[in-house]
Structure 1
Amino acid sequence: MDLQLKGKRALVTGSSSGIGAAIAKTLAKEGATVAIQGRNHQKVNQVVQDIVEQGGYALAATGDLTQNEDAQKVIDTVLETLGGIDILVNNAGAYPLQSWTNATVEDWIENFETNVFSMVRVLNLLLPHMKTLEWGRIIQISSNAGVQAFPGAPHYSATKAANINMSVSLAKELSGTGVTANTVSPGPIVTEGWIDFAQDIAQEQGWGTDLEVVKRKFLEMMGGLPSGRLGEPEDVANLVAFVASPLAGYINGANLRVDGGQTPTVN
């Protein structure tokens, strides 16, 4: 299927690794020019290099989106280089494991700064421009924790619920502009960060270090998934690429889960 993304310009935040990098590479394979954003110059440049070596088009936009000046610098770099942005994938975020008993108010503020306010900064800077194009796609990456809160990460769960709510509000705000706003909510995805997290659990549980064994034990601990497996970054990236395409124009204000059936709800 031709997703009609050739010539589209995309910014994927938090795309120097993990799900964000997979999204950026998938959009590039579909013909989009992609701006790679992250805080680590080396990691950002590596993703750019990977895309270019595969025949795609990408540029680096390094900066910390929790800082106003850096966010402005990132957006200025992208707009000056590409002349505009058609697709924004708001993916940058953090997943701290702290319970109600050990997460301080300062921890909550920091996580909202990273997972919510960084998105707000990018949106405030790009929305006026995207409206003038009369076509665009905004995709917020949330989590199934946004509708089924995790007990070990209350502040993270709250930020992910906020991301979903933001997309619904955006879809209404952008009514009639040609710009849609949606959320994609992954479940457990085997990224570098997930592997580190799972290996810590494996050490505690005595599962050993073989990744396939750890993944199987983790699934068993969860009670299994209807899909029978954990997700891969490409599972998320493929859905994002479709939602970012002209083919998805009638999808708006939606929260689309990619969680292997983990979230037991009809909505």
Structure 2
Amino acid sequence: MGNRLDKKVAIVTGGATGIGEAICKKFAQEGARVVVVGLPDDPVDQVVKEIEQQGGIAVAFKGDISVEANAKACVDLAIRMYDRLNILINNAGVFPETNLLPDFSEEAFDYLLRNNIKSTFMMTKAALPELQKTRGNVVTAGSEAGQMGEPQAVPYGGTKGFNHAFAKGLATEQAKFGVRSNVVAPGPIDTAWTHTSTGPMDSEMEKSTTAGTLMGRRGTPEEVANVYLFVASDEASYVTGAIYYVDGGTTIAKGPQGEKAADSFKKEPEGELDLQHSLEGHTSVKS
């Protein structure tokens, strides 16, 4: 166990699968009390149990946090259990469909708005009064797609562009209250979203996604969680309004540079976290 987040209280939305699981376990490993947030059919209870088995402290919250009452209840749980809130991680999000825009379904578009945008808005609104008391911080999930756009998932890139601007505006507005706001923007990560067997990408899109990184591979959830850890910690005390790209060089790659990457780059690091739910999560529209 480390101490970079010693006794801090963190809410992590989308915390039971993919990158969220890694964030929760990394934060707990570094001494945080973690509220693991997910939808009712996410493995929230399992992640809490796994954290506790490793000596960490966590509690589960299950509900749709795009609903204002649920967002408030989530914050209330953190205060009731741990007396304060220091960190909000707006990680919840979905990647439900890939299609050319004329064929992109309205159902998937609405699903993106609810889970990628409204959940961020509602949780931040609910958490800010408590974060102002602790001079805490918000870290929101962006994406390289929020910078570059995402062909065949144009609305997804648009939601991440919103999150980038939202976080920067929040940083400006909340500085007078001592609250920091930043973005961690992953590229292709080894989660359910980037595999044809578990997500909406076809084989051509999956191949081009990894070839478009300078490292020629997906990142791991733990590699992303490591950046969240820094940005959320006091080590980043002079960082606000920033976007940290964790994308293997996707945003600066020109063509399929990953095909030329060194073999050492192409190998995923083994990591330290015991991640059981990396390839789970919502990749299709659910009511």
Amino acid at match of 2:236: A
Amino acid at match of 1:194: T
Cα separation, partners in 2 of 1:3 and 1:262, compared to 1, 3 Å: farther
1:59 partner SS: strand
Check if 1:109 corresponds to 2:110: yes
Amino acid at match of 2:230: F
Cα separation, partners in 2 of 1:224 and 1:160, compared to 1, 3 Å: closer
Cα separation, partners in 2 of 1:159 and 1:198, compared to 1, 3 Å: closer
Provide structure 2 residue ranges, at least 5 long, that are not aligned to the other structure: 254-287
Partner of 1:243: 231
Q: String of CA shifts for 1:136-188, please: whole Å, max 9, x gaps.
A: 12100111100111111111111000000011001101113221100000000
Displacement of 1:223: 3.6
Structure 2 CA distance for aligned equivalents of residues 3 and 258 of structure 1 = 23
Partner of 1:129: 130
RMSD of the alignment, in Å? 2.1
Structure 1 CA distance for aligned equivalents of residues 227 and 209 of structure 2 = 27
Partner of 1:186: 186
Q: Is the 8 A contact 1:198 1:218 kept in 2?
A: no
Partner of 2:258: none
Partner of 2:51: 51
Structure 1 CA distance for aligned equivalents of residues 115 and 45 of structure 2 = 22
Partner of 2:268: none
Q: Is the 8 A contact 2:26 2:229 kept in 1?
A: yes
Structure 1 CA distance for aligned equivalents of residues 64 and 209 of structure 2 = 36
Structure 1 CA distance for aligned equivalents of residues 105 and 206 of structure 2 = 28
Q: String of CA shifts for 1:184-226, please: whole Å, max 9, x gaps.
A: 0000000133333579634xx6xxxxxxxxxxx9456754422
Partner of 2:280: none
2:102 partner SS: coil
- TM-score normalised by structure 2 residue count: 0.81
Amino acid at match of 1:243: V
Q: Please say which of residues 17-26 and 68-77 is displaced more in the overlay.
A: 68-77
Displacement of 1:101: 1.2
Check if 1:147 corresponds to 2:147: yes
Q: Is the 8 A contact 2:150 2:157 kept in 1?
A: yes
Displacement of 1:106: 4.8
Structure 1 residue corresponding to 2:244, chosen from 235, 256, 267: 256
Cα separation, partners in 2 of 1:152 and 1:69, compared to 1, 3 Å: same
Structure 1 CA distance for aligned equivalents of residues 143 and 160 of structure 2 = 6
Displacement of 1:75: 2.1
Q: Is the 8 A contact 2:34 2:58 kept in 1?
A: yes
Structure 1 CA distance for aligned equivalents of residues 199 and 105 of structure 2 = 24
Q: Is the 8 A contact 2:188 2:210 kept in 1?
A: no
Q: Please say which of residues 171-180 and 67-76 is displaced more in the overlay.
A: 67-76
Structure 1 CA distance for aligned equivalents of residues 63 and 128 of structure 2 = 19
Identity level (%): 35
Structure 2 CA distance for aligned equivalents of residues 118 and 183 of structure 1 = 15
The alignment covers a number of residue pairs equal to 250
What are the equivalent positions in structure 2 for 1:23-172 lying under 5 Å apart? 23-40=23-40, 43-97=43-97, 98-133=99-134, 135-172=135-172
Q: Is the 8 A contact 1:146 1:158 kept in 2?
A: yes
- TM-score normalised by structure 1 residue count: 0.87
Displacement of 1:43: 0.4
Moved over 4 A (4+): 197-200, 217-222
Structure 2 CA distance for aligned equivalents of residues 165 and 19 of structure 1 = 22
Structure 1 CA distance for aligned equivalents of residues 18 and 56 of structure 2 = 19
Displacement of 1:116: 0.6
Displacement of 1:257: 0.2
1:175 partner SS: helix
Displacement of 1:103: 2.3
Displacement of 1:105: 4.3
Q: String of CA shifts for 1:64-89, please: whole Å, max 9, x gaps.
A: 11222322222222221121210110
Provide structure 1 residue ranges, at least 5 long, that are not aligned to the other structure: 206-216
